[in-house]
Structure 1
Amino acid sequence: MGNSRGYKSTQEAHDDVLLTNIAVGYKNEQFIADMVFPKLPMVSKQSNRYKVFGMEDFRQWDDKIAANGAVNEIQYGESEDAYFCDGHGLSRPISKQEKSNSDDETQLEVNATRLTTSLVLLNKEIDAANRAMNPASYASGLSTTLGTTTLDTIFGKKWTDPTSDPVKQVDKAKEYIHINSGIRPNVLVVSEKGFTALKNHPMFMELIKYSQTGIVTKELLKAALGVNDIYVGAALRTTQPFGATPPGKPEALNYIWGNGAALIHVTDTPDPLSPTFGYTFEWDFAGEKVARRVRKWEDVRSEATYVETKYYYDQKVVCNIAGFLMADAI
């Protein structure tokens, strides 16, 4: 119906190198998805299999050499799973009116690129939080809900309870991870709300009572909890549909990373053979070593310019014994 007059409604779309470079370089400092799920080198296939980390390094075998010099052969079981890089993309039209009233049309396209990229990455952040803060992502016995005693009485109080003991809770979680995997966790993942609860906890306030600054810093918390880093998810989202709230009116926002706390092991050297809680697989769908690409085209009828960001990825928990989840920490 749209082409009933015999002409195309849009010009042929093409990859825009400048806008693609902007999309590739775009970062939102509030997003931590790529820290929790570090990116592997881009993959050339949209779907493939990868090794799942197991317990082979801890199994004892009879290594006595026989009188004839023969040695026993180990049985090395390998497990696999598969990734699939779903496509994610959004476009933003720039109307003829916007272009006419702008002193710099290129800047409109740059802004559209940043907006579409940011919104695609917002969904990626939500996906990462849904995976990392989900008890189903952890092996049996490696998650609990604070405020209950289903796993251990140490976890019986939330951080908002002044009589709770976050240090003991983190130490106990470390013990559970190590005894189940031989892996030592090195990162605590919390939302900004969870981080604030830790900073204001009487236990840590007592530690800085006589310090010069009198402020509980991230460095102090890292040292007290015995982790290399604390990833603070500051990103927010609204669950209201578009148009539900009039422009200029405030909308209720919620922290994407919720109320939980995840203690995980994150590798410093992302590699398929390096154990870590999770990885991000990015598909090089254009074969040019670029994960995110931006296309641009003109709509003939409306005379609008469309800017579109595309991104193919999959965030996978590849080692569910390399972490411990404390749900509802606050």
Structure 2
Amino acid sequence: MPGSYPFPVDPVLTGLAIAYQNRKCIADEVLPRVPVGKSEFKWWKYDFAESITIPDTRVGRRSKPNEVEFSATEQTSSTDDYGLDDPIPQKDIDNAPPNFSPVKRAVEGITDLIVLDREARVASQVFNLNAFPAGQRTTLSGASQFSDYTNSDPITVIMQALDIPIMRPNILVFGQGAWTVLRMHPKVVSSVNKNNSNAGVVSREELADKLEVDEILVGMALVNNARKGQAPSIVKAWGKDMAALYRNRLATNTSGVTFGFTAQHGDRVAGQWEDKDIGLKGGVRVRAGEEVKEVICAPDCGYLFKNSVA
């Protein structure tokens, strides 16, 4: 809506910010976005015991049926604003090569960093031991890690873990390092290929079919942990952990059960305006951002393997 933002929103740049996606990021697949009408929103936390406690359903010929009640605890959260500015000197715009727009490039670069920041946030939350119940998290070490091809048995361990959460997980989330090791595990290769061969690799689709889950997601994003001006310190955003989660794409903040979701207020926005304090000739200040909040609403619907590989 016009006038909804304290800076001029450019529809062309906004369209660019909405469309731009980093293909190496999986945050939107792990914690799907759910639109909310206001920055402050409510979500419901259900009592799972109510749905699995069987009451007396018998009804006498003239008696009244027993009554049940389904409750939920209302939780309140609010979206956070994430955005960046890129001040562009007019001199850069005047001297840009043909068919190159410093402003559009700024929107792409800003959006990429915002997406990467979200990726790191989601990875940190999903692979956080404290986000899972005590009986639904395991820290592997030594011979139990999937990188120990002699002693570990990933298929058995994962299958057993899938049966523990209240809702059986339907997606597996890996960091690239963990997935690379697991897909070459001799016992995994032999189990998927149904033979005694212990060499080769398996695909995500093959292992997903074997474990009876809908999808295997692999986080590939890289993050530089060093501060500006220091030598780069490149790390994998998703590390070497693995999580099994129940994802319900039809769930919203008030209906349905899912491990987690991302509340999103409005679309990404982008705009530009004149800034006379940039360089000798002034310039253009470009801004892009979004309003989101990641929520782990049903931790009982997941299982975490910390340090799944060495």
TM-score using structure 1 length: 0.84
SS at match of 2:109: helix
What secondary structure does 2:47 align onto?
Answer: coil
Aligned partner of 2:88 in structure 1 is: 94
Aligned residue for 1:176, secondary structure, equals coil
The one of 267, 283, 293 equivalent to 1:304 is: 283
Do residues 200 (structure 1) and 177 (structure 2) align? no
Contact 1:39 1:270 in 2 (8 A): no
> How many angstroms apart in 2 are the aligned matches of 1:106 and 1:311?
25
CA distance in 2, matches of 1:66, 1:292: 58
* Alignment partner of 2:46 out of 44, 53, 65: 53
Q: CA RMSD in A?
A: 2.1
Instruction: Give 1:210 deviation, angstroms.
Output: 8.5
Alignment partner, residue 317 of structure 1: 296
Going from structure 1 to structure 2, the CA distance change for 1:104 and 1:84 (only over 3 Å counts) comes to farther
What is the identity percentage for the equivalent residue pairs of Structure 1 and Structure 2? 26
Please give the alpha-carbon distance, in whole angstroms, between the structure 2 residues aligned to 1:32 and 1:226. 21
Matching residue of 1:256 = 237
- Correspondence for 1:78: 72
Distance 1:46 1:204 in 2: 45
How far off is 1:99 after superposition?
A: 1.2
Whether the aligned pair in 1 keeps the contact of 2:155 and 2:188 (CA below 8 Å) is no
State whether structure 2 residue 103 is matched by structure 1 residue 124: no
Structure 2: tracts of 5 or more residues without a match: 1-5
Give me the whole-angstrom Cα distance separating, in 1, the residues matched to 2:97 and 2:115: 29
**TM-score scaled by length of structure 2:** 0.89
Unaligned runs of 5+ in 1: 1-11, 149-155, 246-250, 285-290
> CA–CA distance in 2 between the matches of 1:105 and 1:27?
21
Equivalent residue for 1:223, pick from 195, 209, 230: 209
SS at match of 1:188: strand
Match of 2:269 among 293, 310, 328: 293
Residue 273 of structure 1 aligns with which residue? 255
Question: CA separation in 2, counterparts of 1:256 and 1:104?
Answer: 36
Q: 1:237-268 deviations in whole A, cap 9, x for unaligned? A: 011001113xxxxx331111112100011114
Q: Distance in 2 between matches of 1:205 and 1:35?
A: 26
Following the alignment from structure 2 to structure 1, what is the Cα–Cα distance between the partners of residues 179 and 29?
17
Deviations 1:271-326 (A, max 9, x none): 34221111110112xxxxxx210021111132121110121100101111110001
